[in-house]
Every structure is written in structure tokens, then in C-alpha cells.
Chain A
Amino acid sequence: MYRSIALCLLLFNLTAVAHEMTPTYPTWDRTAHDGIKKVTMNLWNSRKDVQYYEIGVFTKDFEESVPFVTLYSILKVEYLSHVEFDVYMTEESIKRAVYICSLSKLRSNDDSKPLLATQICSKFK
């Protein structure tokens, strides 16, 4: 019994500090507007120390940012919750877009320690 509880606590502890974004290879959907497409992404936050994630779209080799529109470019994602968000782009920008990324935004605290920023990038193929 105690072993099971310990295992559950251990598993909970191991999975409670993660950042995840899907799909890995998103695909563009049509919108009601000509020349504009959208992609829907999912973000999962189980990092207790992070509440905000910044969305960015980049060219090959991360050389440049590509303009896009979304409701919030910095998303609030509560601890242990999912957020689904849409990113809208013009067809011209879509030709240049290769990666869509979410980057954890860190807050400073009182400890002298290295902070861990996490970034996940999906790829348009």
C-alpha cells in the first residue's frame, strides 16, 4: 500500500514539471477570408513555476521571425492545464514559416539558481 502511494507521488512529481506542445507537424486550415489560413495548436503546462508562454513563428534555421496573428502572443496557461490556440497567417508568410514555437516565460524569484527556460518547436512540412 505504502509502496503504491510512494510510486504515485513519485510519478506525479516526475510529470509535474513539463511543457508540451502538439501537433509536431501542424497543417494549415482554410478560414473565411481569402489568402489567410490558420493552424490550431495545443499547449500543456505542468510547470508550477511557469504561467506564461510566448508564441513565435520562425523561418528556416530560426533566421527571422515571421509575422502572425493570434489572440495573445503571450498565453497564460495555468498549472496542469491545456490551452488550444489558433495562429493566423497570410499565404505569403506561410511560404516562409518553418517553425512555430512556445517559449516559457520565467519570473525571477529570491533564490540564486540557474533558471530553466523550455522551448518546443513544431515544424511546418
Chain B
Amino acid sequence: MKKLLITLSLILGATPILAENIDVTGTVQSRCTVNVDTPGIYGNPNAYTLTTLPASAGQEPIVRFDVTLANAYFAQVSYPTSFTVSPSLPDTVSWTGVVTVVQTSTSDMSGYQAASTTSGSMRQYALSIAGTTWIQSTSIATYGGGQNKAFPGGEYKAVVLAQCIAQ
């Protein structure tokens, strides 16, 4: 009995421990996601103005850019300079607008607005830090070429273009 126990313990002790290393691999891929955070709405505070300003019952469109790696993308956002859908407009529409950073995921990004550049209605931001940036596009359309004529009744649409361009 004693010999049997010793033999058994030797056999069990000699049994190799079966272990397998399972690798978990992953890759951080550079990517940019463009999100429509808030759709825009035009308010009509008077007969000759359409504006996204909240004080005039409008809603500012806000786009969110998520980037996973620093210095990989430029964000470009424009405000509209024409209507894509509108009734016939025989008179001139004057457009003004501004594109601004309204929120960032880290305080390190606070210099984005100051470092941005413009080209016409488009503003470009170098996304030099990984994270999230919210950019707002404000637009105001005035009808009548300075004479404040009433917009004809009907449907009006304009397009804000938000781009993420690889650096």
C-alpha cells in the first residue's frame, strides 16, 4: 500500500502542467469619425432673414470629430453660401457665417480655434491631439441685396460641409 502511494505520487508529480499562452493582439488604427451632433434649423426672425442663431428660434448645427491618433487629420467645416432648395429668388441673398469650436474633450485642444485658418466660408483645424472636437457652423442669410426684401414663401435648405482630411 505504501509502495502504491509512493508510485502514484511520483506519477502525478511527473505529470506536466498543460498550459497554453493565448495572445491577445490589437492595433490602434488611425481613424476619423465625423458625427452629426446637432442638426441645424433656420429661424425666421423677420421677413428678410433666415438664421441658425438660437435667439432667433434657430438651431446651430454642430459636428463632432473623433480622431484616434494625433496629427493625422485636418477638420474642415464650412457655412453655407447658397440655398440648395428654395423658391425662385430674383433678388440677391447675402450670406454671413462663422465656424467655431464649441467644445473639446481635453483642455489641451483649447488652442484649436486660434490656430485655425480660413479659406472663404471654410475653416480648417489641425487635429493635433487625439480626442473629440465639437465644431459649430452659424449662418445668416439676408434677402434683398441690402434693401431687406421679404423672402418668398416656401422651403429653404442649405448644406453645411464637414470634412476630415488625412494630413
Contact = CB atoms under 8 A, between A and B. Distances in A.
Interface stretch (B1-9, B10-18, B159-167): B159-167
Interface range on chain B: under 10, 10 to 19, 20 to 34, or 35 or more? 35 or more
Interface of A: 14-15, 17-20, 22-25, 44, 47, 49, 99, 106, 108, 110-123
B155 interface: yes
23 contacts: A14-B35, A18-B66, A19-B33, A22-B31, A23-B31, A25-B30, A99-B165, A112-B50, A112-B156, A112-B157, A113-B42, A113-B157, A114-B42, A115-B84, A116-B160, A116-B162, A117-B159, A118-B36, A118-B164, A120-B164, A121-B163, A121-B165, A123-B167
A32 to B, nearest CB: 28
Nearest to B164: A120
Contacts, number: 112
B72 interface: yes
B32 A118 contact: no
Contacts of A114: 39-42, 52, 61, 80, 137, 139, 157-160
Contacts of B150: none
